[in-house]
Amino acid sequence: MQIIIQHSLDENIARQISSNFQVFSTHIRHQIALINLDDLRQQYQTDFNHLPKVDTSNIKLFVCDMDSTLINIECIDEIADFANIKPQVTAITKLAMQGKLDFDDSLIKRVALLKGLSVDVLDKVYTQRLSVNPGGRALILFFKTKSIQMAVVSGGFTYFANRLAQDLALDYARANVLAVENNQLTGVTEGLMINAEAKADFIKELCDKQGLSYSQVIVAGDGANDLNMMRIAGLSVAYHAKPSVTKHANIVINFGGLNKIIDLFNP
């Protein structure tokens, strides 16, 4: 027998799956024989996951990818829209997130296309197009009640990651630095490139700083450049992610918001 989390309170669905289930405040848990979760997810268009083997009461750090995970957009694509080159940049972004294009090369190519654009565009993207994904604020409040520290990490840019961390009162942020000259983007980044390896290194750095083991870390991401950090964390969540990512994650959220992560903790 195994415990399956149904990330909804629909008891009609629950009764179709098993007779042995318990209703909690935000979800339902089934005690059930072996079952194919992918089939359940598609049949009921609802998120289902195995109850994690990790002791979630021991989680001390949450690290979240930014673009299309914590927030609703790919920031670089929206910046490109102001330069009327969004289709070109978006095409490169999709290939990179699917793991079909080297991330470093793709970032260099995309940032180069932004050369000459006013930095004022960054504020417009943040204020006019960026929002926290559904359930994100509730998840952050939950983690605060559990004294779990939080970090945002991104292959995107510090302008957005740092500002978001400040607005949401997150503890840490790391992303790429866009080079600026005469109030214009120069078409390059400065310093260390935040790619898949750098994201994983960020987790290692934070664990060393706080004296944590990797088993005390939960991460959430959606793209190929999140896989390295997902592999080392105690618990990994694929959030509305590419198929190449979901197959490597402990938890898959395809239909609900980020608050569904709360269901993994003791009710």
- Catalytic positions are 65, 67
The single-letter DSSP state of residue 184 is E
Q: How far apart are CA 115 and CA 187, in angstroms?
A: 4
Using DSSP's 3-state secondary structure scheme, residue 53 falls into coil
Q: Which tokens go with 260?
A: 């569904």
Using DSSP's 3-state secondary structure scheme, residue 156 falls into strand
Q: Which tokens go with 10?
A: 């629909």
Using DSSP's 3-state secondary structure scheme, residue 172 falls into strand
Q: How far apart are CA 189 and CA 124, in angstroms?
A: 20
Using DSSP's 3-state secondary structure scheme, residue 113 falls into coil
Cβ–Cβ under 8 Å, residues 221 and 230: yes
Residue count of the chain:
267
Question: Which residues lie closer than 8 Å to 241 by C-beta, 6 or more apart?
Answer: 221, 222, 223, 226, 249, 252, 254
